[in-house]
Structure 1
Amino acid sequence: MLDVFGDYSARDPLTALARAARSCPYQEPAENGGLYALGSEDVRRLLLSRDVWSERSTDQRLASMDEQDAARRRALKRFLAHWPVFSDAAYHDRIRRVTVRLLRGTVTPETLSACARWADRRLAGTDGEPVDWLRDVARPMALEAIVVLVGRADAARLVRLGGAVMDELATARIDMARIDRALAAVEELRAWLETARSDPPTPLTARLGALWDDPAYGPESATALLTQIVTGAYDPTTTALCVVGEHVDSDILARIPLPSVREEVLRIATPFRFASRYARRPITVGPYRLDEGERINLCLATANLDPEQFPEPLRIRDRGNASRNLSFGAGKHYCPGAPLARAVVEVLLESMRKSGVHFRVEHVEREPELPMLRYRSLTGRLVPAAWTDR
């Protein structure tokens, strides 16, 4: 059994996820509701199936809450319903096309050069001093991706606000304090966009401003899209860059082509480990039957560690350049920001290979929740390739 509600801050969840992928294809509903599908074949099939979709059904847990708490929970759910990742049907098709257009051209040579300069600077001249990989490498490089989207002046602020929304999404339980912080952050994000659209700092901001004024979308959709883009670009990229520091050494960089290493990093990272779907009609999943509206939780992380699909799943291997992992989803909900995340990760790998160093971890601490991989601390030292066997 996979402990969905366990505290994983001090233990690596990869072992538990890989064990579940190997031996536990299904897990019955927990307190948050919904069957869990853990095997790669089922997860991929359901991501592509027309029998399920992302639009959320009624949350039965609201019935046990007082009306004030339930109202705040419903308000956040209404906002999230405007995100492309949590929507479906005609609205999803329209907002996804908008999102793809918004993100087109964001992987610029200038962005990659800025990331490369930062990586080169941090990987050189440390003289064996302790390095805070999360603070000094992963977060600044991921922030450069946000800068190209919303401008440098407010990038860090928007990341902080988006982080409050991600905190609520990261927990499998209803947590009213997190809900309140998320709602407050949404109001600040809405206020920022309302102001920024009059003098947009970037092309993406200008397009979001046009979406705000478009009666077919309006302020709610524009704010939702801003929030999903910021959080979707920053958090997964930060996580993947931390996985590079924790798992990639000089031997891997010497033996395996960088595109393959990049895909393995993203496979192991799987920043968002679950994708919820809801039955559009009665369906059968393995030995289980789901009625219309019932929830199934697709575990992308266990699918990416399924030995039937990825032999020796905990090892970084050359599995070819063709990506078969599900870190960015699949089908019509495939993440349109994937090229940006891939590009930033490959910049760091190239800088590490060029500098001839890798990161030797001395202390790692993660956020406790299983649904998302996020780091609290990742410290250690940079080690030249010639020292790796000492």
Structure 2
Amino acid sequence: MPWSSDPLAWFDELRENRPAGWDARTRSWYVTRYEDVSGLLVDARLGARRVEYCPPGLTERQRDTYWLLMGFVDRWPVFSDPPRHTALRQLLRRLFAPEATRRVTDAVAATVGARCRRVPPDRLFAEAVRPGLAQALAALLDEEPEDLPQLTEWSSKILAVGSIESYRPEIGEAARQALEEFSRFVEDRCDAGKGHLARALRPALQAGELDLLDATATYAQLVTGALEPSASATAVLLRELTSGPLARKEFTADPGAAITEALRLATPFHLAPRRALTDIPLHGEVVEEGSRVVLVLAAANRDPRSFPDPLSFRPGRPARPHLAFGRGRHACLGAGATRHAMAAVVVQLLEAGALDGLPPLRPVWETDFGARFARDVRPASA
């Protein structure tokens, strides 16, 4: 099965038949079983900085654009190694202090609570849930809400570049322009010291510890890593909460367990690319030093060895940490804020009775090799 037709099915096939599989097209090892992925996420034999590789057949301009964008993505904290990664996490940790979580939940509650009472049911996700989560992101970063759509658009264009498996030059060119515009915005914000994130980054910029691309990469990671995963996992919750009374009872009894299961099923970011720092034996193969190793979070979170009946929503599963947020030193710093934001969304919808009488809803997914995002939630019969 070609991965381009259905990435999730391809990942599942690899997990069952080639749990440590070499793919010559992308010159990468794909690791797909839960126990392997979970262990390798914290294994010192893997580095986060990615292997340098350029897709074949590009023009000189396209290659320049590709290397610019890949170099930019390599600056994201999630793709950095110590000591740089450690320093970046220390800068960002203050953004996720308890007072920041309160700002996030207050913003979600105010927006969703007001909007869900006056939007038609078929626009609930688009006009109440997503705006509520966007307001949460604005509150987290201390950015003006009216600026957020532009930040999201720039980040989406950069994210659309995808991985080497799915790189398209025309999308790369749009991403290059978005990066230039995003960098100018970040430069202005940091120069003025406006916003929680800009104020956190400014001293390191002034000291020469970071440069403008580093600061822009940090903005981009937070924007892309906050809104879309929260929205996608919330879309899964809406699907379950409108499928029958049982899911509502389960959410009310243990919101945390329901949110955890929704995050596992959503796993918006499929991959955690790494680089082998030494030879690694795995399932009878040897992953050679310097190889690109792709830890497939989506396949691991659907592994029936660890999650029986893995595609079913079962909040009462025995405790088994999902990997949607990664694990170890590269685990998402915003995991707690995401959970609080999702809980605030559902509480507001239930208290307002916004889900009462709705037909079963289903997420409308936009799926690429490296990610799956919910673009809308519509009646299953539509």
**TM value normalised by structure 2:** 0.88
Aligned to 2:133: 142
**Structure 1 residue 298 corresponds to structure 2 residue 295:** yes
**Structure 1 residue 104 corresponds to structure 2 residue 97:** yes
Deviation at 1:122, TM superposition (A): 4.1
Aligned positions of 1:102-251 closer than 5 A:
102-105=95-98, 107-124=100-117, 129-148=120-139, 149=141, 150-169=143-162, 172-249=165-242, 250-251=245-246
Deviation at 1:332, TM superposition (A): 0.9
The SS at the match of 2:100 is coil
Deviation at 1:181, TM superposition (A): 1.6
8 Å Cα contact 1:197-1:209 kept in structure 2: yes
Report the Cα distance in structure 2 between the residues aligned to 1:102 and 1:214, rounded to whole angstroms: 20
Q: For this pair of structures, how many residues does the alignment match?
A: 372
Match of 1:58 among 52, 56, 59: 52
Report the Cα distance in structure 2 between the residues aligned to 1:17 and 1:7, rounded to whole angstroms: 9
1:195-216 per-residue CA deviation (whole Å, 9 max, x = no partner) reads: 1234444222222233332311
The SS at the match of 2:166 is coil
Deviation at 1:68, TM superposition (A): 2.4
Aligned to 2:364: 365
Deviation at 1:261, TM superposition (A): 0.2
1:353-386 per-residue CA deviation (whole Å, 9 max, x = no partner) reads: 43453653466532131421112332239xxxxx
**Structure 1 residue 253 corresponds to structure 2 residue 244:** no
Give the counterpart letter for 2:265 in structure 1.
Answer: I
Aligned to 2:373: 374
**Structure 1 residue 46 corresponds to structure 2 residue 45:** no
Give the counterpart letter for 2:325 in structure 1.
Answer: F
Give the counterpart letter for 1:346 in structure 2.
Answer: A
Aligned to 2:30: 36
8 Å Cα contact 1:33-1:295 kept in structure 2: yes
Aligned to 2:337: 340
Aligned to 2:286: 289
Moved more, 47-56 or 233-242: 233-242
Moved more, 190-199 or 276-285: 190-199
Aligned to 2:277: 280
Deviation at 1:17, TM superposition (A): 5.6
Give the counterpart letter for 2:38 in structure 1.
Answer: R
Q: Could you list the runs of 5+ residues in structure 1 that have no partner in the other structure?
A: 382-390
**How large is the RMSD of aligned CA atoms in angstroms?**
2.6
The SS at the match of 2:286 is strand
- Aligned sequence identity (%): 25
Aligned to 1:329: 326
Moved more, 53-62 or 212-221: 53-62
**Structure 1 residue 307 corresponds to structure 2 residue 298:** no
Report the Cα distance in structure 1 between the residues aligned to 2:126 and 2:164, rounded to whole angstroms: 23
8 Å Cα contact 1:55-1:81 kept in structure 2: yes
Deviation at 1:125, TM superposition (A): 5.9
Deviation at 1:277, TM superposition (A): 1.1
Aligned to 1:4: 3
Deviation at 1:334, TM superposition (A): 0.5
Aligned positions of 1:73-112 closer than 5 A:
73-105=66-98, 107-112=100-105
The SS at the match of 1:154 is helix
Cα gap change, 1:316 to 1:107, in 2 (>3 Å):
farther
Moved more, 293-302 or 26-35: 26-35
Give the counterpart letter for 2:359 in structure 1.
Answer: R
Cα gap change, 1:153 to 1:41, in 2 (>3 Å):
same
8 Å Cα contact 1:279-1:293 kept in structure 2: yes
Give the counterpart letter for 1:42 in structure 2.
Answer: D
Q: Could you list the runs of 5+ residues in structure 2 that have no partner in the other structure?
A: none
Cα gap change, 1:347 to 1:205, in 2 (>3 Å):
same
Aligned positions of 1:13-24 closer than 5 A:
13=8, 21=15
The SS at the match of 2:217 is helix
**Structure 1 residue 67 corresponds to structure 2 residue 60:** yes
